[in-house]
Chain A
């Protein structure tokens, strides 16, 4: 279904572009300041859950990180800042002591204390709660709340990334007393947190209305209300921005950026995605069990052309499994090379006899997935690979993901949740992880050691070696690290966060006023 719509969209856009271009002339150049007190945003899908522990989808994260606070907070500049915890320090190897912020109230008036923090974190991995974030805090052994404003977390083994883990999904703090009294379903229908906005109302697939929290500890945000509207189709979403009906839109595709940039009242704002778009490989399926074949497949991809043509330059060519911006990213590593002649050599050396290599692609799950699949298939055909592209539905992908039954390679957009290789490469490719199709004893040894070491030099070295092993075996074929772009009105001032959070707190978002 989505296939047909996209094809029709191209035709409609072509026709529409001709009609739409004169708009900029017919519309008066709008002032670049505003007096409005209401923020209206549009994203590609509605909220599915308001309870922060039951969804990790980007459409939900954008809202839940503003209704709730975490103990620590990852700002758009990539650094970790205090949130509901004002300071923290490591005592010994495995004990972290957090000092909690005083005078904070939940939206229903209840005070925030260490009991809420302990409850929230334990809830994520409580088997009875059945949350979606049950593995986020798997390194925690026990949590103690010796007084209302102190939290002591003991980890099973030394875990240098604990504060970073607390900043991401799973770490949102929920009110213990309120949740226990109303139950999960009522809480999901009317969420209560400590964040800069509180829940107002929700009409499914129409709009969510969130009212500003006047007593927010970080200062009342620069608006009285935030209305979030889901607009699933790209063209109407952009039209709403161009017409001034919404202030910010998300998921702006690169080929539409010119329209937004050309419009006098709007601009494009983007951040380099804290993660990679990769073709994950089912290395158990021949011929993909042969490292030489995978090396050849990587060498045969002209990533620069993909960045230039499909992404209009809005992306960078990755150099390995670690995203730019992460800890231990090695800037000295060259971007993954395009060497088709060498690709053919490696295929010959591998004894490749024309076995089928499947690309199972979704449509618009990973941005531009289908278009990139077709481009890469053509590049692989050029070096003599017998490649077959198959389009699968998102729900089918989810099933294959669960059963690890992909036929060949498939798109994935791993997010670096901790700003560290442990949160991306190791989380996904480690033994028992969701993309465990290939194992190497040395790789595993290093990954484990790095996770539980507090010596950053040692960790850096470990990840360097793991990268070497990775570039020999290619359990992922990284393709691009793209910019994720927003369209905004020029009177909106905000910095996009690379980890897909939509940060509207005072330090990051304001309307430019006269």
Chain B
């Protein structure tokens, strides 16, 4: 594949720049938003205490010095020490990663597996009852706030119907409601997007040509339609997956799921610099990797991209 290697290299470079920018923004913003030390000490702590803790945590050195130290530490995987948990930030975050990936992956797979066939069918049976029903449900899925959906699922499917546990992490049964909640928006988006992408493709000349040539309808769908509709779907879907991993905080809070979204928000309130930086950075890494993969898949699907 000529032209693929420069394409790959360019994408890699962009990924690296994105990561550097993210970490710099986190560094700057966290230091502008307030003093973390009073949160860690009792209200009647003397000022000498405050100064001592500030010095111990390196918060009294000039900003440029803090930044250089920060960047070099990042390169070594040292994200600092969690003020709140009194252990290395990376080890704190690592404890939450498995739960996050488990939930994110399940939500995404559930969403994709359900939404793509529905979107496809809706497009092929345009304006039928199936189409209207599916798209109305999708509208609800996209508009309902995550918090509301989650609580509703707990009250209806867990408390009333006794089908699943109410919250927390456990076996596969504990995954269903949070995955449904987290995946609802994505499921709805993918369904609608697949439908419109397929409709777009179905109108194209090459489909008419294939049909005119007498190609079997199933083959028309499988080879020509899906492959071309996949391009926009994969792109947007990749973005959605990244968001799922990093931004599941509301779902995690409702279902007390021990994921990094919750950890990040709590650490922000606690002004726990190290953990916030680590979480944001790792979430950014995951996001960048997913987008990178999406770019590659996109490049494979659509030769026009590789040339540019």
Interface residues of A (CB under 8 A from B): 1, 5, 8-9, 11-13, 15-16, 19-20, 22-23, 26-27, 48-49, 56, 130, 132-135, 184-185, 188-189, 203-207, 229-233, 235-236, 239-240, 242-243, 245, 393-396, 398-399, 401-402, 432-434
Contacts and interface: CB of A to CB of B under 8 A. Distances in A.
B292 interface: no
9 contacts: A1-B265, A26-B160, A48-B85, A130-B53, A135-B42, A233-B254, A399-B34, A401-B43, A402-B43
Q: Which 5 A-B pairs have the closest CB atoms?
A: A402-B38, A434-B43, A205-B258, A16-B155, A206-B258
Interface of B: 34-35, 38-39, 41-45, 49-50, 52-53, 84-87, 92, 95-96, 99, 145, 147-148, 151-152, 154-156, 158-160, 162, 165-169, 250, 253-256, 258, 262-263, 265, 269-271
A185 B86 contact: yes
B136 to A, nearest CB: 19
Contact of B263 (A15, A20, A22, A205): A205
Given A204-B258, A399-B35, A242 B159 contact: yes
A231 B256 CA distance: 5
A236 B167 contact: yes
Central interface residue in B34, B49, B154, B263, by most chain A CB within 10 Å: B154
Given A235-B254, A399-B34, A432-B44, 6 more contacts: A12-B147, A20-B155, A130-B53, A206-B256, A236-B167, A239-B166
A204 B159 contact: no
A239 to B, nearest CB: 4
Nearest to A21: B160
A236 B177 CA distance: 12
A26 to B, nearest CB: 7
Contacts of B99: 206
Contact of A236 (B44, B87, B151, B263): B151
B42 A56 contact: yes
B103 to A, nearest CB: 12
B152 to A, nearest CB: 7
Contact of B253 (A206, A232, A402, A432): A232
B270 A12 contact: no
Contacts of B158: 239, 243
B44 A15 contact: no
Nearest to B53: A130
B76 to A, nearest CB: 21
Given A130-B49, A204-B95, A395-B34, A434 B160 contact: no
Contact of A205 (B52, B152, B165, B256): B256
Contacts of A13: 151
A47 to B, nearest CB: 10
Contacts of B38: 398-399, 401-402
A236 B255 contact: yes
Contacts of B167: 231, 236, 239-240
Contact of B165 (A12, A22, A184, A245): A245
Contacts of A204: 85, 92, 95-96, 258, 263
Given A11-B148, A204-B92, A204-B96, A229 B155 contact: no
A16 B147 CA distance: 13
Nearest to B249: A1
Nearest to A45: B266
Given A8-B145, A204-B258, A239-B166, A394 B269 contact: yes
Contacts of A206: 99, 168-169, 256, 258
A8 B34 CA distance: 29
B44 A434 contact: yes
A203 B95 contact: yes
B166 A240 contact: yes
A433 B42 CA distance: 11
Given A12-B147, A205-B262, A185 B87 contact: yes
Given A48-B84, A434-B44, A19 B258 contact: no
Q: Which of A189, A229, A402 has the most CB of B within 10 A?
A: A402
A71 to B, nearest CB: 21
Q: Name which of B84, B85, B86, B92 has the most chain A CB atoms within 10 A of its CB.
A: B86
Contact of A395 (B52, B155, B270): B270
B275 to A, nearest CB: 11
B40 to A, nearest CB: 8
Contacts of A1: 265
Contacts of A236: 151, 154, 166-167, 254-256
Given A12-B152, A134-B42, A434-B43, A5 B147 contact: yes
Contacts of A23: 159-160
Given A134-B45, A239-B167, A22 B160 contact: yes
A134 B258 CA distance: 33
B155 A19 contact: yes
Contacts of A243: 158-159, 162, 165-166
